Structure 1
Amino acid sequence: MEQDPVPVDLGRPAPDFELPNQFGEPIRLSSLRGSPVVLVFYPFAFSGVCTGELDELQAAGAEFSRSGARVLAVSCDSKYALRAYARDRGYSFDLLADFWPHGMVAGAYRAFDAGPGRPLRASFVIDAEGLIQAEVRSDPGTPRPVQAYLDALKEMV
């Protein structure tokens, strides 16, 4: 399925949403204003490339904390699967369930592949005012570099 390479114009407001995290707690993007957010869409919990990417996010946690950024990882898995995934891998950031309506938030960012019903590998670095400042995408099976997020956060300072 052909995807638009630029889901939203950089510098424009990030589409707001509210999704449950792995504990069922609602996380609303607009309530996080005042600090940057790294929004990471990934296809599937427990899959190889996705696990590698999220492990790298966890390993870089101190660097994200230093920049004041909150990491939100979003898939279409249920909150129950995400809770097991976070527990199994030791993730300390929020895993958000874009489960129902299926992929609605990923769709708002043009980061949803309706064919297989999963998010694309698309990430957005959002500044403290809620504006999208950077986008990082990769092809299926290709991990996104964590350094791209860290570089985007440094540029926002």
Structure 2
Amino acid sequence: MTFPAAGPAAGSRAPDFETRNQYGEPVRLSDYAGRRDVVLVFYPYAFSQVCTSELAALRDRPDLLAAAEFLAVSCDPMFTLRAYSDAQQLPFGLLTDFWPHGAIATSYGVFDAERGCALRGTFVIDRTGLVRWSVVNQIPEARSLDDYAAALAKLRPELG
């Protein structure tokens, strides 16, 4: 079952953040403004079954990866994300929301404080920094990559 995200609604400004990717490099959402559409993919846990199958499916869709900057965000520590990225050969940024724990997920309304992890939320953010589409799935339910493709096609009809 999917439902709208509790965080920023379509048409509102995406909350900016700065964190580190799996290589320890700083990543700031606002750095993509004017350059690239971004898809934020929040996921609960590195190395878990559903998360791994989702991110591997995304890895295997070069058409989607070419259409936008995909940034996968979890509350796992940076070193865990590096091991996960290497093990799964993930060609996109894995961003740590470890400390302050869940701050990015909280700003997007997808932090589960009881479990201490992000919900399975997705946000398509255009080049102007506005949220254009979002969805949240239940933690055990994988998202549809075709939904990402449809949302991105609405931003850039030439991609559809």
* Superposition TM-score, scaled by structure 1 size: 0.94
Q: Which residue of 2 aligns with 1:96?
A: 95
Contact conserved, 2:5 with 2:134, CA < 8 A, in 1?
no
Q: Which structure 1 residue ranges, 5 or more long, are not aligned?
A: none
User: Deviation of residue 94 (structure 1)?
Assistant: 0.3
Deviates more, 1:72-81 or 1:4-13: 4-13
Cα distance in 1 for residues equivalent to 2:4 and 2:64: 30
- Aligned position for 1:10: 10
Q: CA RMSD in A?
A: 1.3
Q: Deviations over 1:21-47 (max 9, x none)?
A: 000000000001121000000000000
Q: Which residue of 2 aligns with 1:80?
A: 79
Q: How far did 1:8 drift?
A: 1.4
- Within 1, Cα distance between the matches of 2:5 and 2:42? 15
Indicate the residue corresponding to 2:29 in structure 1. Answer: 29
Q: Which position in structure 2 is the counterpart of 1:60?
A: 61
2:5/2:121 contact within 8 Å kept: no
Contact 1:4 1:110 in 2 (8 A): no
The structural deviation recorded for 1:126 is 0.5
Equivalents in 2 of 1:110, 1:58: separation in Å? 26
Tell whether the 8 Å contact from 1:136 to 1:148 is kept in structure 2 after alignment. no
**Unmatched runs of 5 consecutive residues or more in structure 2:** none
Instruction: List 4+ stretches of structure 1 deviating above 2 A.
Output: 3-6, 61-64
* Residues 89-122 of structure 1: CA deviation (Å, up to 9, x unaligned): 0001000000000000000000100001000000
Q: TM (normalized to structure 2)?
A: 0.92
Counterparts of residues 32-47 of structure 1 (less than 5 Å): 32-33=32-33, 34-47=35-48
Distance 1:5 1:127 in 2: 17
C-alpha distance after superposition, 1:21-76 (max 9, x if no partner): 000000000001121000000000000000011011111133330x2x00000000
Name the aligned partner's letter for residue 17 of structure 1: F
Does the 8 Å contact 1:7/1:109 carry over to 2? yes
Percent identity between matched residues is 45
Letter of the 1:41 partner, please give it: F
2:51 corresponding residue in structure 1: 50
Contact 1:73 1:94 in 2 (8 A): yes
Matched position secondary structure for 1:7: coil
CA distance in 2, matches of 1:139, 1:57: 18
Distance in 2, matches of 1:18 and 1:57, equals 23
Deviation at 1:5, TM superposition (A): 4.1
Instruction: Look up the match of 1:107.
Output: 106
Q: Provide the rounded CA distance (Å) in 1 between the counterparts of 2:101 and 2:5.
A: 22
